[in-house]
Amino acid sequence: MHKWPAGLLAVLYLVSLPAKAQEAAAKPVAEVMAQDMREEVLRLDATVKDFFGRQETKPVPVTVYRPQGDGPFPLFVFNHGRAVEAKRAQQGRYRPESVARYLVAKGFVVLVPNRVGYWETYGGFDPEFSGCRSIEPMSIAASDQVLATVAFARSLPYVDTSRWLVGGVSV
The pLDDT tens digits of the residues spanning 41-65 come to: 888 888 877 777 778 787 888 889 9
What is the distance between the alpha carbons of residues 164 and 6, in angstroms, rounded to a whole number?
Answer: 66
Q: What local confidence, expressed as pLDDT, does residue 69 receive?
A: 95
Q: Calculate the average pLDDT of the chain.
A: 74
- At 160, the pLDDT band (50, 70, 90 cuts) reads very high
pTM of the complete model: 0.70
Which residues, in sequence order, are bridge partners of residue 77? 111, 166
Burial class (CB in 10 A: 0-12, 13-18, 19+), 27: exposed
Beta-carbon neighbour count of residue 19 at 10 Å? Answer: 9
Q: Which domains does the chain have, with CATH numbers?
A: 35-168 (3.40.50.1820)
